[in-house]
């Protein structure tokens, strides 16, 4: 890793933690440290599953338990078993906790305004745009891509969202039963694999690879959530599928797509896929692509 880049990241981290008050014992002057304030804010008006809260914040379970106990001791939250699933613990705000969260919101707005106020309007625009770009890049580094079973709840979520998006974008809608199949068994080893991307506890993307005969594999079910588009996840999923295909001994990758999916078409072309004649009878396809891995 480039040493100058590492040094720049460290300088950025020091500047941000100082500027937002993260170094103070009492974050935003509310009598508790940043960690406890963030947990209180994340629980929110609807409450949160403790397991999901831990995953989203990337916290050690023991540390989160201590933070929750401190908030309970201040009568700001309650932590109880889910009445529908006793294995799940739910954290909810008390009326005092809801009032404290509103106070945190107000103080956070004031700190953000204080950061922007000394800057000229063009500088504010630049800072806001730079922050948005940094946030997208940080998200990109936080996304995890793993092989998943098609029956996994995260996989079902991604596939359902994929089908719903196709139905909304295709001129004549989309019906799964009319499309060429990519069955659950077809996306399980040894027939194939399914990759699922997660940002914290949220499933945000997927892509499948069907292992074929004669060194030919087919890519299916490529989808990226709108919440993380612009992070490079689509290209990352495509690259990981290509890596799995090469490891299986495949020499050629194929895929088809609909003309409405202009972003996907641009991605495939930029990744070295060449448009070829139709190699199947997929009723929703207008473009067929192929890539020779040896190239």
Give the CATH number, domain containing residue 274.
Answer: 3.40.630.30
Q: Where among 86, 118, 150 does a domain terminate?
A: 118
Residue 72: count other Cβ atoms within 10 Å of its Cβ: 15
Q: Are residues 177 and 285 in the same domain?
A: yes
Q: Is residue 128 included in any domain, yes or no?
A: no
Residue 5 in this model has a pLDDT that exceeds 70: yes
Average of pLDDT values for 118-131? Answer: 94
Max avg pLDDT among 9-23, 127-141, 246-260: 246-260
What does the DSSP assignment read for 53-105?
Answer: HHHHHT--HHHHHHHHHHHHHTTSEEEEEETTEEEEEEEEE-HHHHHHHHHHH
Q: Are residues 111 and 170 in the same domain?
A: no
Q: What is the pLDDT of residue 85?
A: 82
Average of pLDDT values for 70-83? Answer: 92
Give the model's confidence band at 150: pLDDT under 50 very low, under 70 low, under 90 confident, else very high: very high
Residue 15 in this model has a pLDDT that exceeds 60: yes
Residues 6+ apart with CB under 8 A from 190: 211
**8 Å CB contact between 209 and 217:** yes
Give the model's confidence band at 188: pLDDT under 50 very low, under 70 low, under 90 confident, else very high: very high
The rounded distance, in Å, linking the Cα atoms of 193 and 10 is: 38
Give the CATH number, domain containing residue 27.
Answer: 1.10.10.10
Q: Where among 118, 134, 161 does a domain terminate?
A: 118
Residue 83 in this model has a pLDDT that exceeds 70: yes
Give the model's confidence band at 295: pLDDT under 50 very low, under 70 low, under 90 confident, else very high: low
The rounded distance, in Å, linking the Cα atoms of 217 and 3 is: 40
The rounded distance, in Å, linking the Cα atoms of 108 and 12 is: 20
pLDDT digits (tens, 9 = 90+) for 218-236: 999 999 999 999 899 999 9
**8 Å CB contact between 84 and 48:** no
Q: Are residues 158 and 281 in the same domain?
A: yes
**8 Å CB contact between 186 and 192:** yes
Q: Where among 118, 134, 164 does a domain terminate?
A: 118
Q: Are residues 112 and 146 in the same domain?
A: no
Q: Are residues 100 and 169 in the same domain?
A: no
Structural domain for 25, as ranges: 3-118
Q: Are residues 161 and 247 in the same domain?
A: yes
| pTM, two decimal places | 0.81
Residue 96 in this model has a pLDDT that exceeds 90: yes
Q: What is the pLDDT of residue 164?
A: 96
Q: Is residue 133 included in any domain, yes or no?
A: no
Which of 218, 275, 222 has the alpha carbon at shortest distance from 250? Answer: 218
Q: What is the pLDDT of residue 279?
A: 95
The residue that leads in pLDDT, 214 or 273, is 273
Q: Is residue 201 included in any domain, yes or no?
A: yes
Within 13 Å of residue 30, how many CA atoms lie on the same side as its CB?
27
**Which residues on neighbouring strands pair with residue 209, listed in sequence order?**
193, 219
The residue that leads in pLDDT, 29 or 271, is 271
Residue 81 in this model has a pLDDT that exceeds 70: yes
The residue that leads in pLDDT, 97 or 34, is 97
Instruction: Give the count of domains, the chain.
Output: 2
Q: Are residues 98 and 162 in the same domain?
A: no
């Amino acid at each position: 890793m480039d040493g100058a880049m590492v040094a720049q990241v460290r300088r950025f981290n020091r500047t941000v933690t100082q500027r937002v008050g993260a170094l103070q014992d009492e974050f935003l002057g509310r009598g508790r440290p940043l960690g406890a304030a963030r947990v209180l804010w994340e629980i929110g008006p609807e409450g949160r599953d403790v397991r999901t809260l831990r995953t989203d914040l990337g916290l050690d379970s023991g540390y989160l338990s201590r933070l929750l106990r401190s908030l309970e001791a201040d009568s700001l939250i309650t932590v109880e078993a889910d009445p529908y699933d006793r294995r799940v613990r739910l954290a909810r705000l008390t009326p005092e906790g809801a009032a404290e969260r509103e106070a945190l919101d107000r103080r956070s707005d004031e700190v953000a305004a204080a950061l922007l106020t000394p800057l000229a309007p063009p500088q504010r625009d630049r800072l806001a745009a730079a922050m948005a770009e940094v946030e997208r890049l940080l998200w990109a580094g936080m996304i995890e891509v793993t092989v998943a079973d098609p029956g996994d709840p995260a996989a079902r979520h991604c596939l359902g969202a994929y089908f719903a998006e196709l139905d909304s974008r295709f001129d004549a809608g989309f019906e799964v039963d009319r499309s060429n199949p990519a069955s659950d068994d077809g996306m399980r080893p040894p027939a194939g694999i399914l990759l699922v991307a997660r940002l914290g506890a949220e499933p945000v993307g997927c892509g499948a690879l069907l292992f074929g005969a004669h060194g030919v594999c087919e890519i299916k079910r490529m989808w990226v959530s709108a919440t993380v588009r612009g992070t490079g996840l689509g290209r990352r999923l495509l690259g990981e599928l290509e890596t799995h295909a090469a490891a299986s001994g495949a020499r050629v990758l194929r895929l088809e797509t609909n003309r409405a999916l202009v972003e996907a078409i641009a991605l495939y072309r930029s990744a070295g896929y060449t448009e070829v004649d139709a190699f199947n009878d997929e009723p929703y396809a207008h473009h067929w692509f192929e890539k020779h891995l040896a190239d």
